[in-house]
Amino acid sequence: MRKVAEKHRNWLLGELPLLQQEGVLAPETADAVRAYYAQNTRSGLHWALVICAVLGALLIGSGIILLFAHNWEALSRPARAALAVCPILLGSGLGLAALWRGGGTAWREAAGLFHALAVGASIALIGQTYHLPGDTPAFLLTWALLVLPLSLLLRASAASLVYLALVCGWCAAAQSAYGQAAAFWPLLLPSLVHVARLLRDDRHAPGTAVSLAGLLLALCVGTGLALERTVPGLWIVAYAALLSAAALLGLQLFPGRDGWGNLPKAFGLLGTVILAYIFTWPELWREIGWTHLRHDWAFRAWGVWFDAGVTVALLAAWAFAAVTAFRRDSVETLTLAALPVVASLGFVTSTLCRGAATLNALVFNGYMLLLGVMHIVLGCRASRLRQLNFGMATVALLLVTRFFDTDFPYWLRGIVFIALGSLFLTVNLLMARHKKQKGLPA
């Protein structure tokens, strides 16, 4: 019955943008319907129960390890090996019980997390028992590959997050030990499939949101670690495409929702502001491009093609998300989709022209200002205090930073800061009063 209810709920939420566009429902009514289903019918999941189950799994696993450690030195090697395998066997039993009995989310999450941690503990104990040579990348990779089936079979978000953390850890260790971590991308494919399946089944479920947030964070961290950086500055285009694609994906998957209700958009939007702020500094745009190839790096010949391939793949993902999101035809969509275009043009101009650094910095100052003003206007029109504050914070960050770059006296800076703070408070008070008069939620 719950699956049927979820199916009908997802259908209703998918129809809301069309009903709102045709004028059948007011924007406030559509937002109220989304808020109701987000708060009261989110897959029937009680997060307090899930958290208690996960904490219980952590405590039990820690207790078992401590019991082993108490008399570890007095045991023979066969006894140590047998005890080292016990956590994996126990975790496998819990996982099979969860699958066989059709356990709920709390049971699956606890079993998946316990099994994922037990795998790492068992590998470490066996390695210590037989004095195997230490190899951090091999240890992390073996652990990750053994954890991978748990996230797919149990559909457990905790196990999926452990796998992503291990993959990112392997990526960092492999770059340090081997000088390259190209295998990061094929290792990430199972998580992409897992999250895509969760989005298809129930995109509004909390477990889907947690897995999606973990994947986006892993992509952001792994992109910086896995790139060979043979072409200086190519990361500018790669990150611009990644963050813009995340924000556009959120606009398409969760229309009309913001904040925690739309994690891809929140992640991409926050990353876009941070990235645009970094791009406002002229020093970033100097000595970048294919005219400054790093000849001293190992694997430089294939590193150029590898970095270019990753960047093109991220640009393709951005193009797909942009084409899909452009059906909404909104100013927000256009502004977010413009980031990779502006970043790519800046990368090309900085490569071809040495004096383009200042120009690119000015362009991104204007882009960041436009982004902040857009959210201020949209927040005022829709009476969304969070969106309004985000836009004002973006503009304030830009103005304060540029103000410190100049030689204005301290008394003038103090007056400007007081004026900005007063403007923040005044706008918030007026917006809160307006929302209260209209009976809208704060």
Per-residue pLDDT 10s for the chain (442 aa) are 344 345 566 667 677 777 777 777 777 777 777 666 665 544 444 555 556 655 666 676 667 666 666 666 666 677 777 777 777 777 777 777 777 765 566 677 777 888 888 888 788 777 766 666 667 888 899 889 988 888 778 777 888 899 999 999 999 998 888 877 888 999 999 999 888 888 888 787 777 888 898 999 999 999 988 887 778 888 999 999 999 999 999 888 887 777 777 889 889 999 999 999 999 888 888 888 777 776 655 445 677 788 888 999 999 999 998 888 776 557 788 888 899 999 999 999 988 887 788 888 889 988 988 888 888 888 777 777 778 788 888 888 888 787 776 665 666 666 766 766 666 667 666 666 655 655 554 4
Q: What is the pLDDT of residue 424?
A: 62
427 domain-assigned: yes
Q: What is the pLDDT of residue 272?
A: 92
Same domain, 178 and 238: no
Domain of 364, in residue numbers:
229-442
343 domain-assigned: yes
413 domain-assigned: yes
Same domain, 238 and 350: yes
Task: For residue 272, give Cα distances in angstroms to 225, 269, 276, 326.
Answer: 19, 5, 6, 18
Q: Which of 96, 95, 97, 144 is nearest to 123 (CA)?
A: 144
193 domain-assigned: yes
Same domain, 302 and 402: yes
Same domain, 277 and 360: yes
Same domain, 409 and 384: yes
295 domain-assigned: yes
Contact 30, 16 (CB under 8 A): yes
Which of 226, 245, 275 is the last residue before a domain boundary? 226
Same domain, 219 and 258: no
2 domain-assigned: no
288 domain-assigned: yes
What is the C-alpha separation between 79 and 46, in angstroms, rounded? 41
Global confidence as pTM: 0.75
**Domain count of the fold of the chain:** 2
Same domain, 219 and 245: no
124 domain-assigned: yes
Which of 226, 248, 281 is the last residue before a domain boundary? 226
Which of 196, 226, 256 is the last residue before a domain boundary? 226
Same domain, 145 and 241: no
Same domain, 369 and 248: yes
Same domain, 188 and 62: yes
Same domain, 131 and 273: no
Same domain, 252 and 397: yes
